[in-house]
Structure 1
């Protein structure tokens, strides 16, 4: 099959796959239906403070696996739902940020700076329209970059990287994630090493269960999805419960929005004036998204800063400038497509949403994210490549859906920001425990879940980032296999990682990333502490 036939086969696999039902004799594909359901779920969840795309993906994945099973036909419906959630949550997070100064997702924090002042002026409709237009434009641009770059990057990786170089690349990725996530590179490295240690329990190619301490509960290892749900979701729930109990006496009612003004539309000329800000932020978000571990929050910050430098309008940034909303939303939305570049071409997840896409692929089987996905073969069919193009089709379908109905649904979801936490948190806890039990119906799964919930809670209290731990749990198996194979191919050379110039370059880059980021963070701390020291001396 030539490349064009692979693209056509992926499109047909999405639209003409297993049907959910028929309308007037026309079959509706399960994948199409699940993208729509995922997008609506993500939009509502993103508009609800306390929920996020990562939580919705984590809870829905075990349930989807039980519904669709573990056959190759389940890949596109399950991954389509997750993609829909990811895209819907990114757009929906702007709703409470604009209407109530309560970001639905962390990356919408910068949206409050100009979105909420616009809402207080009675321009909530205009602010939501700006956010939707910028978000969908940035997301579409990012997806086009993904479709173009991921296959070429995968071909280069397959051609130039052997087992040694792949092992060094995984080490570089873990070092990069550990260094840039959180307030301290050392804490990030601690989290990454802890994840590698946990993943090594009762796993690997040894003939005995490693580190199990001769206990039955550890003999089969730690369930990966349960560990991730416990650290990411249940740990956050425990922290949110504590915060709610501390602030219950200081809770303030949500203020009502002022009457709407007459200036709530968004004309074609206004959209054109926003395009320079959207374009710059989309490029920034795409570059940031292609780097593993940085995430959309930094992209939103960089996009906002770049827009602020460009701005020459009447309303200054921070006082209700539409350009500020556009710059922020374009930046954080353009991350969603680009962060799948390292996933599909290298098999390395860059953020939490990508983690669950890899978990879905590993659980179902038949699709192994990495360079082998984009191996074009004229003599035999590569089913993984068809699945990849089907996934691309699902992403574009979600974008089209967002262009058509996303804006109307955003404005209708404002009521979700009023859901009180004392109602929301128990629902989150119940849904998460249900998902864990559906995935692994044993009492041991709850033991692991609460143990990792406590671990996640302690990490948050100690300000240790959880993402490096989660990513290292995912990559530990790939790292061990690459190291074992490289060691075997080298003839049991103990210095096999240092025999390849490219491998040495990756390892040196890993060390430099940690050192440079640590020095920069120390410099920032000294600068921030200097004014306080001078004030105390005076």
Structure 2
């Protein structure tokens, strides 16, 4: 099979796959239906403060696995649904920020600076249309970069990196994530080492279980889904409960200001926004390609750059569409680029990518990493077909976003009125139900609550949770790669230092940590 044969096979896997139902004799493919359903749910959840994309992906994944099972036909519908949620939530997050000055995520805080003043001035519709246009443009650009860069990077990694270099690259990625996520690199390192330690309980390639304290309960280790959902989702729920208990009242968002004047977004206005969108999309894509940084830094840099470019009569922060466009294009363009390290290296770049990897590992038949893009005309690589099928679902979600995203987005403003005392218990019950559906064992719920308190404690101590989650996921790959490199070197204890490239990766990891450790001190002087 040639390259274009694989591309066409991926497209057919989406549009000519299993049919969900028929309308007037025309079959509706299940993957198309699930991508559209995920996109709709993502916009609704993104428009609801407290229900961001990771929440919805976390709750949906176990339920999807229980419905579709673990057959190869389940892979693309499940991945398509998660991709739809991720893209829909990216767009929907601007709704409460603009209408009610209630950002659902940290990067949406910058959208409020210009979006909410526009809403107060009767231009809520124009602000929402600007946010939608900038978001979907940045997201589409980021996806195109993903489609072209991920295969090339994977081929380079597969051709030039051996076991030792891959082990050093994983260590570099962990060091990078630990150093840049959160305010303190030291706390990020502690979180990463904690994730590696807990992942080693009861697991490994030896015949006996490790650190299990002689109990059967810990002999098989902690289930991945309970650790990830417990720390990421349940920990945030407990932290929200504590904040509500401290406040003792719900801060309801202010009422939506009535619209006045022309709220359309003309083609001339779109052309004036394009320089800001283009620069922010480049910034977001570049930052998104680096694991662990996330969309908050991209939104900050995009907004700051747009502010320097802006020469209009209304300054940034006073209600200018350019401010909304710069922020939304930057944080939306991160989502596609974050999958570059996932598909090419098997390293999750953000929380959304974590759940895509969980889905692939749970169902099987698709292992994100360099082997996905291994090309041979002599034999068919089914993982490459799935990769192009995944790209097809991403473009399908973008098309839905261009056509329907704006209308759905403007209709979901009422979701921002749901108070947290109502929302958080629902999230708690849904998450626990999803964990039980996946594991069908009450022990998993006990583990999940233990990880929930761990996540709550990490937030109280300002320890970032993302390095913990990524380290927990990569622990197995790191151990396997290190063992293979050690065996290939003939048992040399200095096996990681035998290759110049692995030494470069290790030195880069050390320099990243030292740089970010010194940065606060230099800023404070």
Unaligned runs of 5+ in 2: none
Aligned to 1:348: 347
Residues 60-139 of structure 1: pairs in structure 2 closer than 5 A: 60-139=60-139
Aligned counterpart, 1:323: 322
Q: 1:173 to 1:252 in 2, by over 3 A?
A: closer
Aligned Cα root-mean-square deviation (Å): 0.8
Determine the C-alpha separation between the residues in 2 that align with 1:324 and 1:41. 27
Instruction: Name the structure 2 match of 1:535.
Output: none
2:11 pairs with 1:21? no
Q: Which residue of 1 aligns with 2:428?
A: 429
Alignment partners' CA distance in 1, 2:132 and 2:209: 51
Greater Cα offset, 215-224 or 187-196: 215-224
1:313 equivalent in structure 2:
312
Match runs of 1:214-363 below 5 Å = 214-249=214-249, 251-363=250-362
1:40 matched to 2:22? The reply is no
**Is 1:140 the counterpart of 2:140 in the alignment?**
yes
Q: Distance in 1 between matches of 2:281 and 2:362?
A: 33
Distance in 2 separating the partners of 1:496 and 1:478 = 17
CA distance in structure 2 between the partners assigned to 1:370 and 1:196 by the alignment: 20
> What's the TM-score, normalizing by structure 1?
0.97
What are the superposed Cα offsets for residues 396-422 of structure 1, whole Å, 9 maximum, x if unpaired? 000000000000011000000000111
CA distance in 1, matches of 2:49, 2:256: 17
Residue of structure 2 equivalent to 1:206? 206
Contact 2:203 2:219 in 1 (8 A): no
Q: Give the corresponding residue for 1:532.
A: none
Partner of 1:536: none
SS in structure 2 opposite 1:325?
helix
* Structure 1 unaligned regions, length at least 5: 528-538
CA distance in 2, matches of 1:253, 1:372: 50
Question: Deviations for 1:330-372, whole angstroms, at most 9, x for unmatched residues?
Answer: 0000001000000000000010000000000000000000001
1:334-483 map, 5 Å:
334-483=333-482
Closer, same or farther: CA 446–254 of 1 in aligned 2, 3 Å: same
**Conserved? CA contact 1:90–1:105, under 8 Å:** no
Residue 367 of structure 1 aligns to a residue whose secondary structure is coil
- Partners of 1:256 and 1:23 lie apart in 2 by 41
The Cα offsets for residues 228-260 of structure 1, whole Å up to 9 and x where unpaired, read as 1000000000000011111124x4443223321
Residues 260-317 of structure 1 show CA distances to partners (whole Å, capped at 9, x for unaligned) of: 1113110000000000000000000000000000001111111001100100001000
Tell me how far apart the structure 1 counterparts of residues 169 and 452 of structure 2 sit (CA, whole Å): 30
Residues 102 and 253 of structure 2 are in contact (CA less than 8 Å); yes or no, is this contact kept in structure 1?
no
Asked whether the 8 Å contact 1:51–1:105 carries over to 2, the reply is no
Distance 2:4 2:130 in 1: 36
CA displacement 1:26-85 (0-9 Å, x = unmatched): 221111000001000110000000111001001100010111111111110000000000
Per the alignment, residue 52 of structure 1 pairs with 52
Q: For residue 108 of structure 1, report the CA deviation from its aligned partner.
A: 1.1
CA distance in 1, matches of 2:166, 2:44: 40
User: What is the DSSP-based 3-state SS (H/G/I as helix, E as strand, rest coil) of the residue aligned with 2:503?
Assistant: helix
Q: Report the secondary structure of 2:21's partner residue.
A: strand
* C-alpha distance 252-69 of structure 1, shift in aligned 2 (>3 A): closer
Q: Distance in 1 between matches of 2:242 and 2:180?
A: 27
Shift of 1:215: 1.2
Instruction: State the secondary structure of the residue aligned to 2:217.
Output: helix
Task: Determine whether 1:149 maps to 2:149.
Answer: yes
Structure 1 residue 505 corresponds to structure 2 residue 504: yes
The question of whether the paired residues in 2 share the 8 Å contact of 1:44 and 1:413 is answered with yes
**1:439: how far off?**
0.6
C-alpha contact (below 8 Å) 1:122/1:257 kept by paired residues: no
Contact preservation (8 Å) 1:203, 1:221:
yes
Distance in 2 between residues matched to 1:256 and 1:37, nearest whole Å: 29
1:216 is paired with a residue of what secondary structure? coil
- Residue 187 of structure 2 is matched in structure 1 by 187
Q: Distance in 2 between matches of 1:357 and 1:118?
A: 36
SS at match of 1:427: helix
1:109-162 CA-to-partner distances (Å, cap 9, x unmatched) read 110010011011010000000000000000000000000111111000000000
2:12 is equivalent to residue 12 of structure 1: yes
SS in 2 for 1:28: strand
Give the Cα–Cα distance (whole angstroms) in 2 for the partners of residues 70 and 259 of structure 1. Answer: 49
In the alignment, the residues of structure 1 paired with residue 462 and residue 6 of structure 2 have an alpha-carbon distance, to the nearest angstrom, of 46
Q: Structure 1: how far apart are the matches of 2:522 and 2:46?
A: 36
In the other structure, the counterpart of 1:173 is 173
Classify the secondary structure of the residue corresponding to 1:21: strand
By how many angstroms is 1:23 displaced? 1.6
Aligned 8 A contact 2:252 2:419 in 1 = no
| Partners of 1:95 and 1:104 within 8 A in 2 | no
Quote the Cα distance in structure 1 between the aligned partners of 2:179 and 2:252: 39
Give the count of matched residue pairs: 525
1:479-494, aligned counterparts within 5 Å? 479-494=478-493
How many Å apart are 1:431 and its aligned residue? Answer: 0.2
Match of 1:517 in 2: 516
